């Protein structure tokens, strides 16, 4: 056709139907990938890393690493400010422990021999007596000692520091209507590894079998006659199990000091963690005060929760002069005694802890303090956990219950050739 009014025919070349379908599918696929990537990125932003502070070391791995980069060293001048007579006393107790005939069997540990450990403690004690200033102290430590760091839970040195204490409770030497919940002495059939102190089980018909769990012990009469003392409520007795010692005020006004004498060899399970996981407690309020309040309001649930921790602790009486005692059998010192996993770290070692702790009003403050590795605990396992001893009584309970902070932990051992 011709003329302005004629319709104009335009020919459009279209891809075959199959090709169009394929291109549409590819566009849809690319869009899906973009959306998936955006969703994954958003998810990553909100996903929290679960920190496994109790992660075991790989087989054969050491919990300590010698520091070779000066940038990794702790601030020794600042740490010098924390030195006082309480450190000397705690260090003297570590040295006294090394004189016990049984001490040597716990070495080598983390590559440190017994002789090396003893010489290091004595050399550090001499240094404390003779250093003249913070600068002198730093210089002499770096000249004479290798500084090691815990590898931590993550291989980068991160350690979670919690707190423990020695509670004070009313108790009775006899069972009464008011006092019905016992602490038990160590049973004679408990078998312990003489080298490590770890519980292996009990003898039964010539065979070595696991010792009874908390539930089995409390639901039977197997420890009848081994009661050391009686408490008013079950959770108070449990608190003593967790902390390993207590000062007990008797009805006649007398005082009984009790401390750790062994355990049944079963793993420790945190009741506080269970209560948080089951939404009975807020994550930030799982300390002893919150747990005590929960069980006071829910007494019927005490056994339900406590029996989920299979570990059971046995006790012995101490004199006031050597109480509270740690796992070395010597008196522990407030903010000078550290509890660690003794299958990972050398016993009695000189350590430096860098973390934060809570004040009485809840404020956090820096903590850089020399301590001695003199204790252990059921919850303290692997290279990423340590427990700071906070002292005796209600104030110490408050501080221990609030303590949960990351930090670093250092050990000091003489360099080769140093006396």
For 263-283, write each residue's pLDDT tens digit. Answer: 999 999 999 999 999 999 988
Residue 356 near residue 350, CB atoms below 8 Å: no
How much is the average pLDDT of 38-65? 75
Strand boundaries in 167-263, DSSP class E: 168-172, 181-184, 190-192, 199-204, 207-209, 227-231, 245-249, 255-263
Give which of 396, 375, 391, 269 is closest to 330, Cα–Cα. 375
What integer pLDDT is reported at residue 33 of this predicted model?
39
Output the CA torsion 165→57→157→268 (10° steps).
-20
47 — pLDDT class (breaks 50, 70, 90): low
The overall average pLDDT reported for the chain is 88
For the chain, give the percent of residues with pLDDT over 90.
76
Q: Is the pLDDT of residue 350 over 50?
A: yes
* Dihedrals phi, psi of 211, to nearest 5 degrees: -75, 160
List, in order, residues 6 or more apart from 242 with CB less than 8 Å away.
164, 377, 378, 379
What integer pLDDT is reported at residue 11 of this predicted model?
37
Give the Cα separation of 252 and 311 in Å (integer): 32
Q: Is the pLDDT of residue 363 over 90?
A: no
Q: Residue 403, Cα to own-chain centre: how many angstroms?
A: 11
**Mean pLDDT lowest for which of 7-21, 247-261, 375-389?**
7-21
Q: The tokens of 116 are what? A: 């090396």
How much is the average pLDDT of 140-168? 96
Fold held by 64-165+328-418: Barwin-like endoglucanases (2.40.40)
Give the Cα separation of 411 and 346 in Å (integer): 9
Give the Cα separation of 340 and 161 in Å (integer): 10
Residue 108 preceded by cis peptide, ω within 30: yes
Q: Domains of the chain: which residue ranges?
A: 64-165+328-418, 168-244+246-269+309-323
289 — pLDDT class (breaks 50, 70, 90): confident
Give the CATH superfamily of 168-244+246-269+309-323.
Answer: Barwin-like endoglucanases (2.40.240.50)
Q: Residue 229, Cα to own-chain centre: how many angstroms?
A: 28
Is beta strand 168-172 parallel, antiparallel or unpaired with respect to 245-249? parallel
Give the Cα separation of 80 and 248 in Å (integer): 37
Beta bridge partners of 406: 160
43 — pLDDT class (breaks 50, 70, 90): low
Q: The tokens of 373 are what? A: 């590795």
Q: Is the pLDDT of residue 129 over 60?
A: yes
Q: What is this structure's pTM? A: 0.83
Neighbours of 30 (CB within 10 A): 10
Separate counts of helices (H) and strands (E) for the chain = 11, 17
224 — pLDDT class (breaks 50, 70, 90): very high
Residue 358 near residue 289, CB atoms below 8 Å: no
What integer pLDDT is reported at residue 222 of this predicted model?
95
Cα dihedral across residues 301, 302, 305, 308: positive or negative: negative
What integer pLDDT is reported at residue 380 of this predicted model?
87
């Amino acid at each position: 056709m011709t003329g302005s009014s004629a319709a104009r025919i335009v020919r459009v070349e279209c891809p075959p139907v199959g090709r169009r379908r394929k291109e549409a599918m590819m566009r849809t696929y690319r869009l899906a990938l973009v959306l998936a990537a955006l969703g994954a990125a958003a998810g990553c932003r909100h996903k929290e890393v679960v920190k496994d502070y109790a992660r075991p070391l790989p087989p054969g791995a050491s919990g300590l690493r010698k520091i070779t980069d000066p940038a990794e060293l702790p601030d020794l001048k600042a740490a010098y400010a924390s030195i006082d007579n309480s450190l000397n006393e705690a260090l003297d107790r570590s040295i006294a422990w090394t004189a016990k005939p049984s001490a040597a069997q716990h070495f080598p540990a983390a590559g440190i021999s017994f002789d090396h450990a003893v010489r290091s403690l004595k050399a550090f004690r001499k240094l404390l007596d003779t250093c003249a200033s913070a600068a002198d102290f730093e210089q002499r430590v770096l000249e004479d000692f290798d500084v090691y760091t815990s590898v931590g839970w993550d291989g980068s040195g991160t350690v979670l520091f919690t707190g423990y204490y020695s509670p004070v409770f009313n108790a009775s030497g006899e069972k009464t209507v008011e006092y019905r919940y016992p602490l038990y002495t160590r049973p004679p059939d408990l078998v312990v590894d003489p080298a490590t102190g770890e519980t292996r089980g009990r003898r039964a018909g010539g065979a070595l079998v696991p010792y009874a769990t908390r539930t089995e012990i409390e639901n039977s009469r197997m420890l009848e006659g081994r009661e050391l003392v009686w408490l008013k409520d079950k959770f108070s007795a449990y608190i003593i199990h967790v902390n390993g010692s207590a000062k007990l005020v008797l009805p006649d006004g007398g005082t009984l000091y009790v401390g750790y004498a062994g355990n049944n060899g079963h793993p420790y399970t945190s009741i506080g963690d269970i209560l948080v996981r089951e939404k009975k407690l807020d994550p930030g309020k799982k300390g002893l005060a919150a747990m005590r309040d929960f069980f006071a309001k829910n007494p019927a649930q005490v056994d339900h929760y406590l029996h989920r921790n299979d570990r059971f602790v046995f006790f012995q009486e101490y004199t006031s002069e050597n109480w509270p005692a740690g796992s070395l059998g010597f008196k522990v010192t407030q903010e000078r005694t550290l509890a660690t996993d003794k299958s990972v770290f050398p016993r009695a070692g000189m350590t430096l802890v860098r973390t934060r702790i809570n004040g009485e009003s809840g404020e956090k403050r820096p903590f850089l303090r020399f301590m001695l590795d003199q204790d252990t605990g059921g919850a303290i396992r692997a290279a990423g956990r340590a427990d700071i001893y906070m002292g005796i009584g209600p104030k110490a309970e408050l501080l221990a219950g609030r303590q949960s902070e990351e930090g670093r932990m250092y050990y000091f051992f003489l360099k080769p050739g140093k006396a």
